[in-house]
Amino acid sequence: MAQAQQAMEPEVAQPLTVLSEEERLFAASVREFAEAEVKPYVREMDEKQKMRPEIIAKCFELGLMGIEPGEEYGGSGGSFFMACLAIEELARVDASLSVMVDVNNTLTINAFLNYGNDALKKKYITRLATDTVGAYCLSEAGSGSDAFALQTRAEDKGDHYLINGRKMWITNGNEAGIFIVFANLDPSKGYKGITAFVVEKGFEGFTVGKKEDKLGIRASSTCELLFDNCKVPKENVLGEVGKGYKIAIETLNEGRIGIGAQMLGLAQAAYEAALGYTKERKQFGQAICENQGVQFQLAEMAVQIEAARLMVYNAARLKDAKQPFIKQAAMAKLFSSEVAEAVASLAVNLYGGYGYVKDYPVEKYFRDCKIGQIYEGTSNMQKQTIAKMLLAE
């Protein structure tokens, strides 16, 4: 009878926070790299607004720039979930490096994996995974949340295309050598004229313009891109002509999980800093963590981070399992970015006056986290996506 009862009981799934041994070791190796080789330069890179080239080179050497592609492309052959683990662990030390790795993996490489033909995959994924940073170029001055209002134009010249226009707020703009550029090839068709093109840094008519002076993630370059009769080979169309809108939407759906992981890492870093400080800081004859009010704040931070981790990990697992994940991705990005801001703000408060100066790390976490509610779809856009999907259920 006991055997029969045991057989009838449903198998209990592992909690989402439980990692496989491979995932645990991978995350630990990324953390070790970040702590030993990135952390000593974080403040310098933030102040100079520039990523150290040797750190970028080390990311390629460790396989962090091409986590999902297989060995045939020079990649690590890992999962999307592992890419999110890397993004989280890097963000715990430096959000700027985290977003560079994020954009290379979840946007640029994923676009090639999902939509590139064999020739484009072989030519560009191999470079993106081994030695060349990538960038994803959708936004424009008048085309942010309304991404399909873009004004960059492409013209078919028979044996090549010419692109004219300007892109704004492009992550990795200075470091990138390969750019996925969205331009409208036939404006009469509206958004159905949008096409994705692969542009290399050395292409005629292409220039990297002004680098933005930002509040946070300052070591990550965010640049304007200029296209003045930029000549693009005919074979450098990514996916089908006129299907760029589909590539843009579906790639961003995946990328939002990466931003969720970035915000999760930031929140974790702010919490750990605050927890450590409250154990050391003494007021009225005792460590401030002995005060119940402080304890409640720490508890709230930990709860919110755990909830964000569950949401981010769940969305990434769903994506790897080829299950619907768009609603979960939007929820994960929305919630984790709000958690990061709330936790970083509380961390600054717990540090008191020290939290407001650059001698301590929490002011940087506070500056870095704000972008999470803006890029790859604002919080309001995530709410709109979630609501649409709820109403359609």
Q: How far apart are CA 207 and CA 177, in angstroms?
A: 11
Q: What is the pLDDT of residue 7?
A: 38
pLDDT of residue 175 exceeding 80: yes
Class in CATH terms, 136-242: mainly beta
Q: Which CATH superfamily is domain 246-392 in?
A: Butyryl-CoA Dehydrogenase, subunit A, domain 3 (1.20.140.10)
Report which of 375, 316, 372, 309 is spatially closest to residue 344, judged by C-alpha positions: 372
Mean pLDDT of 98-124: 98
Query: Which of the residue ranges 46-60, 142-156, 285-299, 354-368 would you say has the lowest mean pLDDT?
Result: 142-156
Q: How far apart are CA 11 and CA 285, in angstroms?
A: 52
Coil, helix or strand at residue 68? coil
pLDDT of residue 279 exceeding 50: yes
Q: How confident is the model at residue 148 (pLDDT cuts 50, 70, 90)?
A: confident
Angle subtended by helix axes 244-280 and 80-91, to nearest 10? 40
Q: Give the residue range(s) of CATH 1.10.540.10 domains in the chain.
A: 21-133
Q: How confident is the model at residue 14 (pLDDT cuts 50, 70, 90)?
A: very low
pLDDT of residue 28 exceeding 80: yes
Q: How far apart are CA 73 and CA 66, in angstroms?
A: 9
pLDDT of residue 346 exceeding 80: yes
Cβ atoms of 124 and 178 closer than 8 Å: yes
pLDDT of residue 364 exceeding 60: yes
**CATH code that applies to domain 21-133:** 1.10.540.10
pLDDT of residue 274 exceeding 50: yes
pTM of this structure: 0.94
Q: How confident is the model at residue 17 (pLDDT cuts 50, 70, 90)?
A: low
Cβ atoms of 154 and 184 closer than 8 Å: yes
Cβ atoms of 271 and 198 closer than 8 Å: no
Q: What is the pLDDT of residue 9?
A: 39
* Backbone dihedral angles phi then psi of residue 236, each to the nearest 5 degrees: -95, 25
pLDDT of residue 123 exceeding 90: yes
Q: Give the residue range(s) of CATH 2.40.110.10 domains in the chain.
A: 136-242
pLDDT of residue 4 exceeding 90: no
Mean pLDDT of the chain: 95
Report which of 60, 88, 96 is spatially closest to residue 316, judged by C-alpha positions: 88
Amino acid 273 reads: A
Q: Give the residue range(s) of CATH 1.20.140.10 domains in the chain.
A: 246-392
Q: What is the pLDDT of residue 6?
A: 37
Mean pLDDT of 374-383: 97
pLDDT > 90: percent of the chain: 94
Which residues on adjacent β-strands are paired with residue 198? 180
pLDDT tens for residues 182-226?
Answer: 999 999 999 999 999 999 999 999 999 999 999 999 999 999 999
H helices within the chain, ranges in order? 2-8, 21-33, 42-48, 53-61, 80-91, 95-102, 110-115, 118-120, 126-130, 244-280, 292-320, 326-351, 362-369, 379-392
Coil, helix or strand at residue 156? strand
pLDDT of residue 230 exceeding 60: yes
Report which of 90, 42, 94, 46 is spatially closest to residue 64, judged by C-alpha positions: 90
* Backbone dihedral angles phi then psi of residue 161, each to the nearest 5 degrees: -115, 150
Q: How confident is the model at residue 2 (pLDDT cuts 50, 70, 90)?
A: very low
pLDDT of residue 52 exceeding 50: yes
Torsion angle, alpha carbons of 116, 120, 121, 127, to 10 = -130
Residues marked as catalytic: 376
Q: How far apart are CA 269 and CA 278, in angstroms?
A: 14
Q: How far apart are CA 248 and CA 270, in angstroms?
A: 32
